Structure 1
């Protein structure tokens, strides 16, 4: 079923995006606008308040609480078991 959304051909993950300076964040914003829906961006940040407003307004924030190693290991094992 087609929901009218363009499929993402690339997923770009930027860790510590909150440590990028304002100029680099502005460049990233322009790049996000240029590639349009062809690419998806995941910005990982410990302090979202350090992300410029122009990027935050184009993003959906998802808060992920800290997770212990045992939970991560168990979850990854379950996923690996399901995917063979």
Structure 2
């Protein structure tokens, strides 16, 4: 099971995510915000957007929005946006 192990705000609505399989990618949430659902509406505020946190490997906000690490990982892989980290042994 893939988990997000680290998240870092980059710019606008983009967050760099590191996954438990030693991959990482930059996830742009603009398409999610463009849907205009009530749950994602607070994320349009830049200060609120930056208040994300990780809980049990998922990307979350305090309003209850929780994004599945597996779905994010799959989308990044399909878009060719996943990279492998190279860590020294």
Q: Same fold (TM over 0.5)?
A: no
| More helix by percentage | 1
Give TM-score, length-normalised by structure 2: 0.22
* Higher Cα Rg, which structure: 1
Asked which structure has the greater RCO (Cα within 8 Å, sep 6+), the reply is 1
